[in-house]
Amino acid sequence: RKAARECFKKYISRVFPKTHTRVHGLPSSSCLGHFPPPGSGLLLLEENPCLTELVLAVLRQEGPNPTILSFVLRLTGLLAASESCFQHLQQGEAVRMAFGEAGPPSGAAWEDTSVRSGWVQGAHNMLRHPSAFQFLCDSGALETIFTLQGDRSLFVASAANRLLARMFIFSIRSERSCLSGAADCEWPPCARRIVSHLEESLRSCSASRANHSFKLLTTVFEQNQEAWTEVLWFRIAVTIKSLLEEESARVGHSLVDLFLSMARSPVFSGHESSLWESVALALKCLHPTQAGLLALGLLKLEKCPQAVKIQGLHILLRPVDCVARAFSDSSEFPGLPDGCPAEGVAVEALLCSRSSCISLLCQSLAHLEEIQHLACPPVDFPHNPLLRATVAMLQACTGLAVPASPLGATLGRILVGCSRVQRAALHLLGALSRRGNCDVSPERIFDVLLVYLQSPDTSPSVLKTAFQATLKWCLSFSETSCSSSGFLRYKQFLKEMMPLLQKRMCSPGWEVRDSALEFLTLAMKRLKGQEWFWQVLSASEVPALAEGLLDDPESYVRASAVKAVGQIFLVASAGSEVPGPTHNGSSNEDSIASRFLEILSSDYEGFPRRAVVGVFVDWLREGHPAVQHNPERFVSQAIQAIQGDLDWEVKISGLELVDTFAAQCFHRFGFSECPYAAAASISSAREPAHLSELLQAFCQVRLFNFLFGALGDCDRPVALKACEILTGVKRKIGTGCGLNEGQRSELQGDAWLEETRRVGAPYASGLPGGDCSETVSQDPKRALQVLEAVDLEELEKALGRSSDHLEKSPQSLLQDILSAGGALDENQADCY
């Protein structure tokens, strides 16, 4: 700390004379966020009087630069955050000139947004002790904050709202004994003024003032879960109830935020709380879209009355139910909860307008989908009726549903071809597959999915969502016990999917080709154990088409093709009756592996190269024959291609490949249990072999060259991953093998980090092909020497730290200010 203070003093005397003698010397006040004063605040002021001189010099200027003034206001607030510094600054009247009645609010600079923002943030930073609180109360700052709540700048208004909430909470906590929990308690003076302001705003005819008050209340309830918040609620509950009944449309969103912040508080969690009566009223009075947001939040809560949850669920289901009934006899949809006629009429009125209909349906469908992902259903959820209603809506969106009412005819004109509603309904259909034992016919589900998958009018985004929903339902039927007829329909559906996939893989739209390949890859992974599926796949042209797309002009498609072909060969090698794709008439595992290496070495886009390395990792982990036959040769070739790649994600995947190979080598030579035992034969495990054999295997693939090269990579995630792997290797080798811990250097900080990297640099410096590299890479003794010399644990800690400790340090900030202060005006730049 003493060294930091000395460093600070070295720069600060040079910086601050520059900032107030050269009014344009400081390009931005945002850099103050990186200004944590080191050591004691009072000591800082006493040792550096130029700080106080700067504040007073700027505040006394008649027409200060707004940027400099904003900077000084924030700086003053930071310095005055401790009570001793506050008293020191107050003696020189710096606090009074910054935040008092005669301060910036009374000057012409107040019109500048940055000055108002600096004032609010400075006051917020200062409000950490009773002296600052009392000063703000006595100086008229409260009225200024009330005014700033409605500032034309949303950032200033939001900051003022947080400052007012902080003052209110500070006031309550400073005189906690006054709050006995009774509704008629005596509020502290400052809190009383704020509550009176709240009540006045809520009773006013101004919706904006009411919204400001609701935001303030939301902030207070979010930051406090104490008993006095219930007293506050008792005082405003009647006013809020009146607003709900009369002005709910104009304050709806703010009310939703307020009620949810209160509902999450344990103070109001009891079912007897008066809050729930107001929440139930809000669900009834708010606009359906606003009520939907409130309903979703309530359904996620554990401690919410069941009656309120049912009411909320009814609000989310009502739009979907109205659409389903508009196209079918209502008797087909039993089980959806009934609501009052007025609510149904309000929803139907919204569904008759195109814009409100699409917005309401998309919101309801998205909320219902989100509920499906909850661990436990919030109430007795009507899954089967909702599934039927969703299928009916998807049919209506393609024009296949017959209207059963005038509303149905109107909805037909709105919904046909509406991709937004189609995507939302397909997402919900996919989510409903999570609940097994549905009583809806598989025929209906698969038929509506086939319509979207086959139609040439289906947009690429809708098609992608349809593929995702299809996969979810295929997995649902494969994992649950269903009737023999249902399973036969499921198998028939997958047979019908093959020519459809072939068609989509030949589509002129790259998004369509990409979605088809993505579905194919995921289906192969998830349906791996179903032999009949592989028989259907092998009888189609899909594998050959997938290989052909390795040459697609679009990089996303090439990447998806790599994943699909890699999965096909992986499954084929495991014994399934799936012939590999043909490549010039005679393809095998070696040829496709060579093709992938060619892509990894020569493809100019990063996505295909990343996909290749991902496939190689899967092959190594799951035991592809081309890998098992000679893993050292396979990994060596992959590392050689990855080593010069500039894409950091390719390098990260390459490190995962190396990590997997190292784990399998440890298992093969009997050092430890391999997490990827599927690829490493159990019978090949033996008693711990000589260390030299293990190291020789590592050196054969140039593993240490690659890892130490990555250790000095400019991308921190790459260096950190390499360090983690080397640490694991060193720990396993050292167990019972006499490897000493890395010797700690006396250097510290960045100098130590550079020294550590320097030790490993000679080992990683040679690239494959050179004599020096060949000698080093095959020298196990040299590998041990490097591992012993490098303190990997400390290096891992250093790499794990973000660069913020340097870039946001006081020294860095002051150096930047000095640099900017010496620049010409037209060349200024804000590095933050």
Grouping H, G, I as helix, E, B as strand and the rest as coil, residue 269 is: coil
Angle 22-23-29 (CA atoms, 0-180°, nearest 5)? 120
Confidence of residue 420 (pLDDT cuts 50, 70, 90): very high
Q: How many CB atoms are located within 10 Å of the residue 93 CB?
A: 14
Buried b (16+ CB within 10 A) or exposed e, 531-570: eebbebbbeeebbebbbbbbebebbbbbbbbbbbbbbbbb
The string of DSSP letters for 484-541 reads: HHHHHHHHHHHHHHHHHHHHHHT-SSHHHHHHHHHHHHHHHHHTTT-HHHHHHHHTSS
Instruction: Tell me what pLDDT residue 12 has.
Output: 62
Average pLDDT, stretch 822-831? 48
Cβ-in-10-Å burial (0-12, 13-18, 19+) of 128 comes to: middle
Instruction: Tell me what pLDDT residue 403 has.
Output: 87
Higher local confidence (pLDDT), 328 or 829: 328
Average pLDDT, stretch 798-819? 64
Helices (H) and strands (E) in the chain, counts: 42, 0
pLDDT in tens, 682-727: 334 344 456 778 888 888 899 988 998 898 888 889 999 999 999 9
pLDDT in tens, 163-186: 999 999 999 887 665 555 544 457
Looking up tokens 């028989």 gives 535
The answer for residues whose C-beta is within 8 angstroms of residue 800's C-beta and 6 or more apart is: 720
Q: Tell me the range of 186-190, 726-730, 747-751 where mean pLDDT is highest.
A: 726-730
CA distance 37 to 19: 17
Q: Is residue 635 scored above 70 in pLDDT?
A: yes
pLDDT in tens, 453-488: 999 999 999 999 999 999 999 888 776 655 666 677
Quick one: three-class SS letters along 696-715? HHHHHCCHHHHHHHHHCCCC
Higher local confidence (pLDDT), 556 or 486: 556
Instruction: State the alpha helices, DSSP H only, in 264-302.
Output: 275-285, 288-299
Q: Where in 156-284 does DSSP place strands (E)?
A: none
Q: Which of 590, 572, 581 is nearest to 535 (CA)?
A: 572
Angle 225-226-230 (CA atoms, 0-180°, nearest 5)? 95
Q: Which of 540, 503, 501, 506 is nearest to 521 (CA)?
A: 501
* Distances from the Cα of 793 to the Cα of 257, 511, 612, 741, 753, angstroms: 47, 45, 31, 10, 12
Average pLDDT, stretch 180-200? 78
Q: Is residue 375 scored above 70 in pLDDT?
A: yes
Looking up tokens 């009814």 gives 314
Instruction: Tell me what pLDDT residue 163 has.
Output: 95
Q: Is residue 732 scored above 80 in pLDDT?
A: yes
Q: Where in 89-197 does DSSP place strands (E)?
A: none
Higher local confidence (pLDDT), 654 or 794: 654
At residue 100, what are phi and psi to the nearest 5 degrees?
-85, -175
Average pLDDT, stretch 550-556? 95
- Give the dihedral sign, CA 318/324/325/330: negative
Q: Is residue 827 scored above 50 in pLDDT?
A: no
Instruction: Tell me what pLDDT residue 783 has.
Output: 73
Instruction: Tell me what pLDDT residue 533 has.
Output: 85
Grouping H, G, I as helix, E, B as strand and the rest as coil, residue 563 is: helix
Instruction: Tell me what pLDDT residue 682 has.
Output: 36
Q: Which of 748, 743, 738 is nearest to 792 (CA)?
A: 743
Confidence of residue 193 (pLDDT cuts 50, 70, 90): very high
At residue 8, what are phi and psi to the nearest 5 degrees?
-65, -45
Instruction: Tell me what pLDDT residue 379 has.
Output: 76
Q: Computed over its alpha carbons, how large is the radius of gyration of the chain? A: 34
Helix, strand, coil percentages, rounded to 5, for the chain: 75, 0, 25
Confidence of residue 650 (pLDDT cuts 50, 70, 90): very high
Higher local confidence (pLDDT), 566 or 793: 566
The answer for residues whose C-beta is within 8 angstroms of residue 815's C-beta and 6 or more apart is: 11
Instruction: Tell me what pLDDT residue 747 has.
Output: 43
Instruction: Tell me what pLDDT residue 113 has.
Output: 92
Q: Is residue 771 scored above 50 in pLDDT?
A: no
CA distance 364 to 373: 15
Instruction: Tell me what pLDDT residue 71 has.
Output: 87
Instruction: Tell me what pLDDT residue 673 has.
Output: 57
Instruction: Tell me what pLDDT residue 24 has.
Output: 43
pLDDT in tens, 1-60: 555 556 656 666 666 655 544 444 444 444 444 454 434 567 777 777 887 888 888 888
Percent of the chain whose predicted confidence (pLDDT) is above 90: 41
Q: Give the pair of three-digit tokens for residue 628.
A: 């098992």
Instruction: Tell me what pLDDT residue 337 has.
Output: 54
Average pLDDT, stretch 328-355? 69
Compute the mean pLDDT over every residue in the chain, rounded to the nearest whole number. Answer: 81
Average pLDDT, stretch 632-654? 93
At residue 205, what are phi and psi to the nearest 5 degrees?
-85, 5
Q: Is residue 196 scored above 80 in pLDDT?
A: yes
pLDDT in tens, 133-165: 999 998 889 999 999 999 999 999 999 999 999
Average pLDDT, stretch 240-261? 87
Confidence of residue 811 (pLDDT cuts 50, 70, 90): low
CA distance 614 to 721: 16
Confidence of residue 624 (pLDDT cuts 50, 70, 90): confident
Instruction: Tell me what pLDDT residue 679 has.
Output: 43
Single-letter amino acid code for the residue at 138: D
Look at 170-179, 238-247, 579-588 and tell me which has the smallest mean pLDDT: 579-588
Looking up tokens 């130590």 gives 752
Q: Which of 210, 193, 370, 392 is nearest to 293 (CA)?
A: 370
CA distance 567 to 794: 40
Q: Is residue 413 scored above 60 in pLDDT?
A: yes
Angle 292-296-299 (CA atoms, 0-180°, nearest 5)? 135
Average pLDDT, stretch 402-424? 92
Instruction: Tell me what pLDDT residue 434 has.
Output: 84
Q: Is residue 553 scored above 90 in pLDDT?
A: yes
Instruction: Tell me what pLDDT residue 802 has.
Output: 63
Percent of the chain whose predicted confidence (pLDDT) is above 70: 77
Q: Which of 254, 252, 236, 234 is nearest to 244 (CA)?
A: 252
Instruction: Tell me what pLDDT residue 425 has.
Output: 97
Query: For the chain, how many residues are written?
Result: 832
pLDDT in tens, 596-615: 999 999 999 999 999 999 99
Look at 179-188, 325-334, 409-418 and tell me which has the smallest mean pLDDT: 179-188
Average pLDDT, stretch 772-777? 44
Structure-derived torsion over alpha carbons of residues 437, 438, 439, 442, reported in degrees to the nearest 10: -110
Structure-derived torsion over alpha carbons of residues 9, 14, 20, 25, reported in degrees to the nearest 10: -120
pTM of the model: 0.83
Quick one: three-class SS letters along 622-640? HCCHHHHCCHHHHHHHHHH
CA distance 613 to 365: 38
Q: Which of 523, 391, 389, 403 is nearest to 447 (CA)?
A: 391
